[in-house]
Amino acid sequence: MTKVHERFLKYVAFDTESDPESEMCPSSPKQLKLGAYLVEEMQAMGLSEVGMDDNGYVYGIIASNVPEGTAPKLAFIAHMDTSPDLSGANIKARIVTNYDGGEIVLNADYGIKMSPKEFNHLSHYVGQDLIVTDGLTLLGADNKAGIAEILSMAEYLIGHPEFKHGPIKIAFTPDEEIGRGANLFDLARCDADFGYTVDGGEIGEVEYENFNAASAKIKIHGSNIHPGSAKGKMKSALLIGMELHSMLPTFENPAYTENYEGFNHLNDFSGSVEEASMLYIIRDHDMAKFETKKAMFKEIEKFLNYKYGEGTVDIKVTDSYFNMREKVLPHYHLIETVIEAMKQLGIEPLVVPVRGGTDGARLSYMGLPCPNICTGGHNFHGKFEYIPVQSMEKTVEILLEVVSRYSNWIAK
């Protein structure tokens, strides 16, 4: 059998960064290269009905080996793309073996170091083996670790026919990082009663609550005049953008929030005096507060257009996904089963809200209840991303234990 971390290291060699500016699916054709590789691996492994559709979604099935009707159809889902927040090309991953608890030099040439003074969770992994980058790219544990863990589970099930399990549906999606992972998901092809995304953080995490999410795309139209004769004439799109930002609550941004606290995050701001563009992401677990945040942007738009002239500011607010809590709670056995599985394996469950979103949020609203399970990684989307080898191995054990517990489960 291929070790889970060896499988993971093969996957991170594929650059699968998604592109938020593209209208295609997948948004970056390079995601198809990993998809094709996974199809070949799954076919060689012995999964059935394996294939990748025209939109880059990969599907496969492990047939049940228990009597029909004994066990539900379980889906396990992860995404292939990596975040556009940092380059996913030419990832130089290495393993820090038997981590000693001190500072890790990621890149001596650039003076990039990762310290437990800044990331105190490093202290949890003394004596373990940590996969890190060279500090110039992200690692891609979000979510190639999830893919590796799901396929390691699959390889074990196929190689151990004595291990009893119901029908297992596997799916890998493109473009999750740009909020489109479930857009073209084929529920008929991944026909399951319920499922799990394997897209969480540190070992033990279980998540069934996520942000309600929207984006605010803003265009500001200014009027450029030579600064020597600009009095009473110039209208700076950049300054109006700064004014717009100042009208939002100061402490409702990611740097000041945690747990269930929402935020307005200025993700992009570019332009000139003549024209500027801004992109905010709007997040809140509470639906009423979420709606208030969105309404605030429209009120600001109205005020600025009154102040500077109609058509100066154009704000388009678009919903992305919603909190999956209400769709998962009627199937709370999904959470209870994972918690019991973790306890059986000596892992402390950490039931936490997702301060982000997963494909599972959208899939839950599409009719496939789908909470999220840990991958074992930390510091996603940045150069300090890392994942302990032992956490990946434990995640595979969690998945197998969950499958086992559903092998003779009968819905009440």
What's the one-letter identity of residue 395? T
Cβ contact 213:283 at 8 Å? yes
Residue 208 sits at the vertex; the CA angle it makes with 204 and 211, to the nearest 5 degrees, is 115
**Is residue 157 in a domain?**
yes
> Do 13 and 134 share a structural domain?
yes
> Do 337 and 193 share a structural domain?
yes
The CB density around residue 410, as the number of other CB atoms within 10 Å, is 8
Q: What is the pLDDT of residue 410?
A: 61
Please count the structural domains in the chain: 2
Structural domain boundaries, residue 273: 212-321
**Is residue 30 in a domain?**
yes
> Do 189 and 94 share a structural domain?
yes
**Is residue 37 in a domain?**
yes
> Of the candidates 279, 303, 321, which is a domain's last residue?
321
> Do 12 and 138 share a structural domain?
yes
Q: What is the pLDDT of residue 411?
A: 52
Question: Residue 161: CA atoms inside 13 Å, Cβ hemisphere, count?
Answer: 4
**Is residue 15 in a domain?**
yes
> Do 256 and 144 share a structural domain?
no
At 351, list the tokens: 């039931």
> Do 306 and 216 share a structural domain?
yes
- Alpha carbon distances (Å) from 197 to 8, 149, 269, 295, 375: 17, 11, 32, 31, 10
Q: What is the pLDDT of residue 69?
A: 85
> Do 199 and 68 share a structural domain?
yes
The span from the CA of 320 to the CA of 77, in Å, is 19
Q: Which residues contact 227 (CB under 8 A, 6 or more apart)?
A: 234
The arrangement of strands across the sheet holding 263-271 comes to 263-271, 275-284, 212-221, 313-321
What's the one-letter identity of residue 336? E
> Residue 37 sits in a domain of what CATH number?
3.40.630.10
| pTM of the predicted model over 0.85 | yes
Q: What are phi and psi of 186, to 5 degrees?
A: -95, 95
Closest among 250, 236, 244, 224 to 304, alpha carbons compared = 244
> Residue 268 sits in a domain of what CATH number?
3.30.70.360
**Is residue 82 in a domain?**
yes
**Is residue 20 in a domain?**
yes
> Of the candidates 264, 292, 321, which is a domain's last residue?
321
Q: What does the pLDDT profile of the chain (412 residues) look like in tens digits?
A: 789 999 999 999 999 999 988 999 999 999 999 999 999 999 999 999 999 999 999 999 999 999 988 999 999 999 999 999 999 999 999 999 999 999 999 999 999 999 999 999 999 999 999 999 999 999 999 999 999 999 999 999 999 999 999 999 999 999 999 989 999 999 999 999 999 999 999 999 999 999 999 999 999 999 999 999 989 999 999 999 999 999 999 999 999 999 899 999 999 999 999 999 999 999 999 999 999 999 999 999 999 999 999 999 999 999 988 999 999 999 999 999 999 999 999 999 999 998 887 899 999 999 999 999 999 999 999 999 999 999 999 999 999 999 999 998 765 4
The CB density around residue 205, as the number of other CB atoms within 10 Å, is 21
> Of the candidates 297, 321, 345, which is a domain's last residue?
321
The span from the CA of 98 to the CA of 409, in Å, is 40
Closest among 276, 370, 268, 375 to 321, alpha carbons compared = 370
DSSP string, 141-182: HHHHHHHHHHHHHHHHHHH-TTS----EEEEEES-GGGT-TT
Question: Residue 239: CA atoms inside 13 Å, Cβ hemisphere, count?
Answer: 8
Q: What is the pLDDT of residue 1?
A: 74
Q: What is the pLDDT of residue 408?
A: 81
> Do 296 and 218 share a structural domain?
yes
Question: Is 308 strand, coil or helix?
Answer: helix
**Is residue 411 in a domain?**
no
> Do 66 and 193 share a structural domain?
yes
> Do 185 and 53 share a structural domain?
yes
Question: Is 198 strand, coil or helix?
Answer: strand
Q: Which residues are catalytic?
A: 81, 176
**Is residue 410 in a domain?**
no
The span from the CA of 412 to the CA of 379, in Å, is 40
> Do 68 and 41 share a structural domain?
yes
> Do 200 and 151 share a structural domain?
yes
